[in-house]
Structure 1
Amino acid sequence: LSLAFRNTPREVEEGSWNLMAADNRSMHGWQSHSSVCWIGAAVVGLYTTAINEWDNKYKDVIYEITKGRDDVRDERDQLKITANNLTQEIQALQDQYVAVVASRDELQAEVNRLSLNRTDNPCHLGWKKFNKKCYYVSSNGVSKTWANSRKDCQERGADLVIITTKEELDFVKKSYSVTWIGLSRGQGGGWTWVDGTDLEGEGFWQDDEPNNADGNENCVEVSRDMAAWNDVPCSRKFSWVCEELDRVRSHSSLSSQN
């Protein structure tokens, strides 16, 4: 037995060294494994952080895209509503236009009807028609001053006759031997018609007329025998001829345009 456990000091020293080397190798292996684990954990952490960041960015992008899509959809819906409203307004305007055109056509038809009736029966009872115009000739045996003659015409919705053509002069002169017409001397000394327009051209005066022989011959009459105009005092009394106001107004309008 003593022989079995007998070891030399060198052998003991070598054994101890071998045990220490084994322990060192074991410690070194554990440290290497631990380092690998820490590195792996760090890599996983970095990847996780990166994934989270990319996930957040992805969610942000998706949110912006979704929000933009929703905004566009809202704008599209609003445009549809606006377009529908405009369509309804256009339709309403078209309906109004059609109604206005129909009313215009009805009014034009009525005007045409009235014009036709006026052409068929243009003058009031007791008036005379000449060249599509209506005239009133004072009653036989009745005479008035120029002013009162004009007043009578105005009460009939007319005025003293305005003579612009030789044919009209011939028509008026046939009424009576002497007849008042709607021409008088104005404040400036010129001759003015009852519608306010000035006499144009030479007119249809008798020879050497107007002469203002009495010094106050400011009104004009037509003589049947002379078939021309003559200035006389307005206070004299003669027959007269009235003319419808539509013609008088028309003459005034044409004169103002000229």
Structure 2
Amino acid sequence: MFSMDDFYKSGEVEEDGWNLMSSGGRSNHGWRSQSSVCWVGATALCLGLLLLTVIMVAHNTSAINQWDSKYTDLIHVLTKGRDELRDERDQLKIQSSNLTQELEALRSQYNDVVDSRDKLQEDIKNLHRNRTDKSCKPGWLKFNNKCYFVSPCGTSKTWEGARKDCQQKGADLVIITTRDEMDFVKSSFAITWIGLSRHEHEDKWKWVDGTFLDGDGFWQDGEPNNSDGEEDCVELSRSATAWNDVHCNQKFSWVCED
């Protein structure tokens, strides 16, 4: 049988069920409210991000413009530097070309000098060879690769006469430069004219080739003394093996040198 207790239980169940339904309805309504809040927040966030993006774009545009200005200035500086370097390079090319031409000219001159030197060296060798192989004329004596003519025995001339005889033979009076040569010359005669003299009003002794006496020479002791002021020519004495100044008009034997 159905009792009041059962009725009240049933009511409690229904009340509870209503309460549950009411709670469920409230729960759905609360969810819809929370969704609206989230949508508004997302929209605000998007607007904020969009604004931030706009600000960043504007900032970047300004930075890009500034960078473009600096970049343009840098390009101008680099272009100017490049042009200057190009001009300097062209100048260096011109200088290098000029130096190359000068070098070639110097090489040509050097080769000419070398050829001339080689020819001179060859000529010197030939001269030495000819000098070594030099043969003297008939009647001439050879000593140290030089040729000498000794005047005939018993013949004497003044200094000028003796020199003229040598010149007629294509030579001149002997020029003595070493003691060996002096020993050779003095061996022929007691007194011999040599090619050393002093011209009037001159205080220097001069050889027949125009050169002045170098050094002290081979004078006898106390000579040259020019005892009477007219001893302007020189003779070689065999006994003294030395020179003496005498009058040029005296007559002695002589020796020519070729």
Relative to the length of structure 1, the TM-score reads 0.55
Q: CA deviation at 1:100?
A: 1.8
The match for 2:141 is 128
Provide the C-alpha distance between the structure 2 equivalents of 1:189 and 1:73, rounded to a whole number of angstroms: 75
Q: CA deviation at 1:85?
A: 3.4
The answer (yes or no) to whether the contact 1:192–1:199 under 8 Å persists in 2 is: no
Q: CA deviation at 1:148?
A: 3.1
Does 1:106 pair with 2:122? Answer: no
Give the paired residue count.
199
Instruction: Name which of 248, 252, 258 aligns with 1:234.
Output: 248
Does 1:115 pair with 2:131? Answer: no
Query: Once superposed, what is the RMSD of the aligned Cα atoms?
Result: 4.4
The match for 1:197 is 213
Does 1:149 pair with 2:165? Answer: no
Q: CA deviation at 1:127?
A: 3.6
Q: CA deviation at 1:101?
A: 1.6
Provide the C-alpha distance between the structure 1 equivalents of 2:181 and 2:252, rounded to a whole number of angstroms: 19
Provide the C-alpha distance between the structure 2 equivalents of 1:51 and 1:169, rounded to a whole number of angstroms: 107
The alignment partner of 1:144 has SS state of coil
Q: What 5-or-longer segments of structure 2 have no aligned partner? A: 1-53
Tell me the amino acid that sits aligned with residue 114 of structure 1: L
Provide the C-alpha distance between the structure 2 equivalents of 1:75 and 1:178, rounded to a whole number of angstroms: 84
Matches within 5 A, 1:6-21: none
The match for 2:194 is 181
Deviations 1:159-200 (A, max 9, x none): 432445554344223444542123456879989352421672
Provide the C-alpha distance between the structure 1 equivalents of 2:76 and 2:108, rounded to a whole number of angstroms: 48
The answer (yes or no) to whether the contact 2:151–2:255 under 8 Å persists in 1 is: yes
The match for 1:26 is none
Provide the C-alpha distance between the structure 2 equivalents of 1:164 and 1:67, rounded to a whole number of angstroms: 79
Tell me the amino acid that sits aligned with residue 203 of structure 1: W
Q: What 5-or-longer segments of structure 1 have no aligned partner? A: 1-39, 245-258
Relative to the length of structure 2, the TM-score reads 0.55
Does 1:63 pair with 2:76? Answer: yes
User: Identity over aligned residues, as a percent?
Assistant: 58
Provide the C-alpha distance between the structure 2 equivalents of 1:65 and 1:198, rounded to a whole number of angstroms: 77
Matches within 5 A, 1:18-37: none
